[in-house]
Amino acid sequence: MELANLSVLLVWGAATALAVALVAFAVDLSRLSGAKVDARDAARTRDTVAVGTGGPVEDAPVDAPEDAPAAPGPVNRRLAGVGMSVTWLATALLLVAIVLRGIAAGRAPWANMYEFALVGTFVAVAVFAAVSTRRDVRFLGAFVTGISVLFLVLAQQQFFVAATGVQPALQKYWLVIHVGVAICATGIFTVAFVTSVLQLLRDGRDNGSVMLGSRHWGWLDHTPAPSALESLSFRLNSVAFVLWTFTLIGGAIWAEDAWGRYWGWDPKEVWTFIAWVVYAAYLHARTTRGWSGTRAAWFVVAGYACVLFNFTGVNLIFNGKHSYSGL
């Protein structure tokens, strides 16, 4: 079997593994939601029994009849562990697929949209897995794996191109540096985006949102507080912003070498700069103006929307100097 075909099979294998992890994480969150409701209902029942027997509420577990509901025990998080294990497997499969793609093409495997999607997804999943070794971020699992499956399927179905060489203008070390750093930044931005979306959901539930207050969203009570989620998102975005800044600078240097000018208002250059401005405004507003909470989270969402449009819309809609790399 050719290396390029084996790479494709491994990508599908990684997508399948991530889909399994998505189901495991989703069921785990569902169990957390159900456990929260059961605990609340059991507490209400014990309080009612205690009041009916004339005893104090705090004595309910002792004075309550034998048929009174017991307090639910800790929730079994085995499925979350399964999700993490399968996520690590998917990360390994995707890494091997990318390496084989590079060997088959004889170059760095990130010269078109298909390869950018593969490597960007790998970085996002790898960052999530790496952070999980330092702190419990399994609450992000369903969302990171879900968006990763979406990206991989889109890459295979819509962006796929054969593993071939690239045009002379791309046959330089800047392809490794400039595009590689951009992919790393995008992967980290993805995890930060998911964290900020969870922050918005948790904040809405804490503030009495009618929709988010239902029992179906009870799993949000098991996620960190909005301030903790915001702090994690800020740290991730800070790292990604540094990489994105280098992407912008490195791209200008490469443009001068390839086209004889540092800046030419090419659509890709413009949208890279727009995304940089949005994230710069977010970091500035949060660190010097005290912006926090939902305002900061919406900034992150807007910035990630710009990054996604730069990756998809600019390539598919506009015709610029970056178009010759193909999909």
Spell out the per-residue pLDDT of the chain, length 327, in tens: 689 999 999 999 999 999 999 999 999 988 887 655 444 444 444 444 444 455 544 444 444 444 444 444 456 789 999 999 999 999 999 999 999 999 999 898 988 899 999 999 999 999 999 999 999 999 999 999 999 999 999 999 999 999 888 777 677 888 889 999 999 999 999 999 999 999 999 999 999 888 888 877 888 988 999 999 999 999 999 999 999 999 999 999 988 887 888 888 888 899 999 999 999 999 999 998 888 889 999 999 999 999 999 988 888 887 766 654 554
Handedness of CA 116, 279, 255, 174 (dihedral sign): negative
State the CB neighbour count (10 A cutoff) for residue 130. 12
Domain ranges of the chain: 3-325
Measure the CA–CA gap between 202 and 116, rounded to whole angstroms: 32
Question: 3-state class of 177 per DSSP?
Answer: helix
Supply the pLDDT for residue 222. 86
Question: 3-state class of 254 per DSSP?
Answer: helix
Residue at 181: amino acid letter: V
Q: Can you give the pTM of this predicted structure?
A: 0.85
Residue 200 φ/ψ, nearest 5 degrees? -65, -40
Q: How far is CA 158 from the centre of its chain?
A: 21
Measure the CA–CA gap between 307 and 327, rounded to whole angstroms: 17
State the CB neighbour count (10 A cutoff) for residue 306. 20
Measure the CA–CA gap between 271 and 261, rounded to whole angstroms: 18
